[in-house]
Amino acid sequence: MADFSYIQEFVQTFSENVSEVLGFDITILNENGIRISGTGSYKDSIGEPSPEGSYLRMIMETKKPAMIYDVIKNESQCMSCKFMGQCKVSASIGFPILKRNRSVGVIGIMGFSPEQKERIIKNSEKLIRFLHHVSALLENKLLLLDCSQESGREAYEDIDVLKNVSFDSIVGHNSGLQDVIKKARRVTNSPSTVLIRGDSGTGKELLAQAIHYESNRRKHPFVAINCAAIPENLLESELFGYEGGAFTGSRREGSIGKFEYAHKGTLFLDEIGDMPISLQAKLLRVLQERSIERIGGKKIIPIDVRVIAATHRNLEEMVEKGTFREDLYYRLNVIPLHTKPLKERRDDIVLFLKYFIRKHCRILKINELGIDPVLEQWLIQYDWPGNIRQLENAVEYMVNIAETDTIEFDDLPDYLNKQENFDCFRRGLSLEQMIAEYEKNILQTFYFAEPYRNDKEKISQTLQISLSTLYRKLDKYQLE
């Protein structure tokens, strides 16, 4: 479901325009009380939590608009605010932002001078009506975004894995996997950094999500960033954000980074081994000091983020070669978890096949398909280089392509065809014929491979058969 993090840029530009027209400062908080837009002095605290007990937070709770016009005397609304003594606001009107009647934020018109105070008091009704419209507009914007996300996702609606992930949504009985889950369960509520190691497509991100959604941070964002997919110069601003005008081409109003988005939640740093060494030092500082500085900014912004990092790289080797900082390695590797490749947990493949067949039949709204038992065995012994992701893609393909209510060999995708010889299964050949097929393939490969091409003596030596046997077989398979 969309929240303000999806439209932060829009909300900030909108606030600036409204502020210019009305002649007041504008600020908007999200449902966690984080400032997601602000003009004037509020601009400096975008991404930061607003003061606990502030009257804007109170509006979010009561879902009712409110006005203050004398902060010092207005005890009922400002008493519990930590910043009451230092507050420079002369008057303000706040209006809740609701989404389907649920409080998702609050917008405030803020006056500081006596003149602004007077205008707010004099025009309060009009301003409240105006804020009502703004609030409805923002609600519509979020709902529209939900719709566009939903239409892309509609087909997946019933599928467990796309709902809040839990450890129960991780498929697999394999004892190694269960040990990992057991360990992960124990550390869900700890703030300590987790480092998940494992090949691509082995469920590292899924495990990270399960840790987040089962932790006491679940109501706050799970933010993922792939350090390998973003160019070095952009990665820094993506992570830490920047102030307006921090560099050529940057947005006028600046931008908050993933660390700030993930405040109180979890930041998943995927492919951490690919993080440029120049950024590693900065990341280490953030992990140690629990605060960030935006690019071009001077302010220290405290952050409360749990970091889960993942990589398929051999970090120890990288440390030795000097391409990964040793101090960062130790800082990240506090709780190490390992996800195993499919070939080390073949006992789970049958479960995955059933799970993915069911999932994709539901997506296509067709009855659940069966699978040819010989094909099932073949899939179990197949060496899945792309792991679970590749297995799922293959199943998705087969479910789409199958013509009967059972998935057959003919339904296998071509890219699997090329890697393994299974034509023999397909045609229902006898064992003798299958062996012959296999033998022919081997001879063909050697006969045409560059270092052996036509060199029968070399081929016979390598395959440890006599030259005459080789001639006989080449003749049998008509390879000459």
Ligand X SMILES: Nc1ncnc2c1ncn2[C@@H]1O[C@H](COP(=O)(O)OP(=O)(O)OP(=O)(O)O)[C@@H](O)[C@H]1O
List of residues contacting ligand X (CB under 6 A): 161, 170-172, 198, 200-206, 270, 312, 388-389, 392
Task: Enumerate residues 6+ apart whose C-beta is below 8 A from 427.
Answer: none
Angle between helices 124-153 and 114-122 (to 10 degrees): 80
- CB of 27 or CB of 202, closer to ligand X: 202
Q: What angle do CA 103, 166, 260 make, to 5 degrees?
A: 50
Which residue is at the shortest CB distance from ligand X? 203
- Structure-token pair, residue 332: 């990240």
- CB of 94 or CB of 198, closer to ligand X: 198
- CB of 193 or CB of 200, closer to ligand X: 200
- Structure-token pair, residue 144: 């529209």
- CB of 95 or CB of 356, closer to ligand X: 356
Contact 379, 408 (CB under 8 A): no
- Please state the closest distance from residue 200 (CB atom) to ligand X, in A: 3
Alpha-carbon gap, residue 253 to 271, rounded angstroms: 30
- CB of 71 or CB of 225, closer to ligand X: 225
CA dihedral 154, 155, 156, 159 (to 10 degrees): 120
- Please state the closest distance from residue 71 (CB atom) to ligand X, in A: 49
- Please state the closest distance from residue 230 (CB atom) to ligand X, in A: 14
- Please state the closest distance from residue 439 (CB atom) to ligand X, in A: 37
- Please state the closest distance from residue 167 (CB atom) to ligand X, in A: 10
- CB of 38 or CB of 221, closer to ligand X: 221
- CB of 47 or CB of 172, closer to ligand X: 172
- Please state the closest distance from residue 201 (CB atom) to ligand X, in A: 5
- CB of 245 or CB of 385, closer to ligand X: 385
Q: Euclidean distance between the first and final Cα of the chain, in Å?
A: 64
Q: Is the dihedral of CA 357, 363, 368, 369 positive or negative?
A: negative
- Please state the closest distance from residue 217 (CB atom) to ligand X, in A: 19
Task: Enumerate residues 6+ apart whose C-beta is below 8 A from 130.
Answer: none
Please, what's the b/e burial string for 106-123 (b: 16 or more CB within 10 A of its CB; e: otherwise)? Answer: bbbbbbbeeebbebbbee
Which string of DSSP letters, residue by residue, matches 326-339? HHHHHHHTTEEEE-
- Please state the closest distance from residue 411 (CB atom) to ligand X, in A: 21
User: Which amino acid makes up residue 214?
Assistant: E
Nearest to 269 by CA among 231, 227, 211: 227
